[in-house]
Chains A and B, each alone.
Chain A
Amino acid sequence: MRRSLFGRTWPNVVALVLFVFFVFPVYWMVTTAFKPDLDIISTTPVFIPFHGTMGHFDKAVHAAGFWTLVRNSFTVTICSVVLSLLVAMAAAFAVARMRFRGRKAFILIVMMAQMAPWEVMTISVYMIVRDQDMLNSLVPLTLFYMMMVLPFTIWTLRGFIAAVPKELEESALIDGCTRLQAFWRIVLPLLAPGLMATSLFGFITAWNEFPLVLILNKESAQTLPLWLTQFQTNFGDDWGATMAASSLFTVPVVVVFLFLQRRAVGGLTAGAVKG
């Protein structure tokens, strides 16, 4: 069907406007981070920065304790994701490959746990951690982050494991492998892409978590999201440095995300349509 000139143009115009709407905040963050102060607090905003400076990044990186918090963030994130992968792999294998009583109940628990309202559970988590005398420690943070990403990890891995043809495993068993060997040598290598995708999503969740660390940890035991909100409070109107800090915090996530986006999208819909 041929469309009129107007009919062909307007979708592109609208798409362009939407593109600007979605990208502008990100663009503004990055460009502000590079702009000299005079361009930031000018009465007419400078939309295209011709004079770049690294000064704001310098300031952000040298803010007190920055590197400690970077280390904290990476430690907590990586440990929680690895832990949840280990725990989830076992459970996902059982759910995907075995029939046992209580399997459905277990799946329902996982689905409900997925929706756990962590944001309103901070008070009781605080009391529990305080009872154990573990405030300002990275251990409880790691454990709770592990739990936050666990249901999702089980759920996705279950799908990936189910996708590995059962016959492969069975022929390995016939060839004399034990069940563990069959898993280790046959299923695990095939799971690699799935493990990668799943763990990166866990990474994003743990990296961004804010409410729990806000209540549990102070000062040198904090993570980057807290640093970012406080950076803003401490440096007040220094928008250049604040935006540099935001950019530094965002970059790892965006890199991971661009890498993953296809899988995420394919994920939801295929099943949704099928149902």
Chain B
Amino acid sequence: MAAQYRGTPTRAPDQQSAVAAPTAGAPVAVGTAPAPGRPRASRGSALAGRTTPYLLILPALVATAVLLGYPLVRNVIISFQTLNAFQLIQHTTQWTGFGNYKEQLTSAEFWHTTERSIFFTLANVALIMVGGTLIGLLLNRLGKRMRLTLSIGLVLAWAMPYVAATTVYQWLFDTRYGVVNWGLDKLGWHSMAGYNWLGSQFSTFAVITLMIVWQSLPFVALNFYAGLTTVSAEIFEAARMDGAGAWRTFSSVLFPMLRPFFLSTTFLEIIWVFKAFTQVYALNAGGPAGLTETLPVYAFVEGVGNQHYGTGAAISVLTILILLALMSYYFRIILKQEDEL
């Protein structure tokens, strides 16, 4: 899912229809006489009627099998091969069994990168969810004009393409002429004048985190706010009458009501941050000295950069497995909901 809108919530269609239905359906529906009884949908033979749905989903299935299924399988196949520049040019296939996996699972670098990726993901997602919730609550409290102003700011940040955002952040944090260093210097932090943000692991991660949080907050904040507007005022009133404070109202009333929202958003953000490649790679290519490589960047640098495609494929299979493990709880919920589809 490379989507900027951060993917589709699992339950999107029903509400989409809720949005679309009145505008789309109403004018025509009024004038049409109700159909007398249920007409027979299919006039062709029963067989044709039964095969129609399969014919309709066939293109989508074929596309998914060829363009998504096959690359996934191929990825696993390559991960069992030694595939370096030599084998690539010679077009030879050299199997190595679990060699690539053994190499990775016993390498300190792989585990450091994994640890780094997971911490990076958790830190970002925590910041995004807490910050987004707070901004959503703030939006709910603001007057009309101020709310519109803040929303416009949020949408602008949301709309920024990743690559463009990355170049802008490089410029903001530029060592010599960056406005951030200038500002910190003016605020009395004189050692920050001429500070090289991309020179150390921690400061590079700080910039990447700021950028990712900046890009993601709008999605969470605006959606949470939209969710809040569906909670009726009486409920807050009732909570207040019962003597609930702000925190209590949130934790005992709001959170349980909007639980599905928090759940799906948190997991969407986990996927999104964990596989964030563009931002990390375009900002500093995993540097300095590979210290900010997250798993997707590590797979790319090892596989494509160093032309160890087999190794890169093994890393990417392991990355997918780790992502699946992180998401397993969410998948269980989806499967349980299957009945409602």
By a beta-carbon cutoff of 8 Å, the part of chain A in contact with chain B is: 11-12, 14-16, 18-23, 25-26, 28-29, 32, 40-45, 86-88, 90-91, 93-95, 98, 100, 102-104, 106-111, 113-128, 143-144, 146-152, 154-156, 158-160, 162-165, 167-168, 170-171, 173-174, 178-179, 186, 190-191, 193-194, 201, 204-205, 207-211, 215, 225, 228-229, 232, 239, 242-243, 245-247, 249-250, 253-254, 256-258, 261, 263-275
Contacts and interface: CB of A to CB of B under 8 A. Distances in A.
Contact of A164 (B25, B158, B172, B323): B25
Contacts of A114: 1, 7-8
Given A250-B160, A274-B11, 8 more contacts: A18-B135, A41-B177, A98-B52, A173-B39, A174-B36, A249-B164, A266-B18, A275-B337
25 contacts: A23-B157, A25-B172, A29-B164, A41-B177, A43-B182, A94-B56, A113-B68, A119-B276, A124-B72, A124-B316, A154-B60, A159-B13, A159-B17, A163-B24, A178-B43, A190-B25, A201-B5, A210-B162, A229-B166, A254-B159, A261-B155, A268-B264, A270-B230, A271-B9, A275-B260
B108 interface: no
Interface stretch (B120-128, B195-203, B221-229): B221-229
**Interface of A, helix, strand, loop or mixed by DSSP:** helix
Contacts, number: 412
B60 A242 contact: no
Interface residues of B, number: 132
B34 interface: yes
B142 interface: yes
Given A150-B60, A154-B60, A159-B12, A94 B150 contact: no
Given A41-B177, A113-B68, A114-B7, A167 B34 contact: yes
Contacts of A167: 29, 32, 34-35
B144 to A, nearest CB: 12
A162 B167 CA distance: 42
A273 B258 contact: yes
Interface of B: 1-5, 7-21, 23-25, 28-29, 32-36, 38-39, 41-43, 50, 52-54, 56-57, 59-61, 63-64, 67-68, 70-72, 74-75, 78, 135, 138, 141-143, 146-147, 149-150, 152-172, 174, 176-177, 179, 182, 214, 217-218, 222-224, 226-227, 230-231, 257-258, 260-261, 264-265, 271, 275-278, 281-282, 295-296, 299-300, 303-304, 309, 312-313, 315-316, 319-320, 323, 327, 334-335, 337-338, 341
B11 A115 contact: no
A225 to B, nearest CB: 4
Contact of B5 (A12, A44, A264): A264
B67 A147 contact: yes
A257 B19 contact: no
Nearest to B309: A123
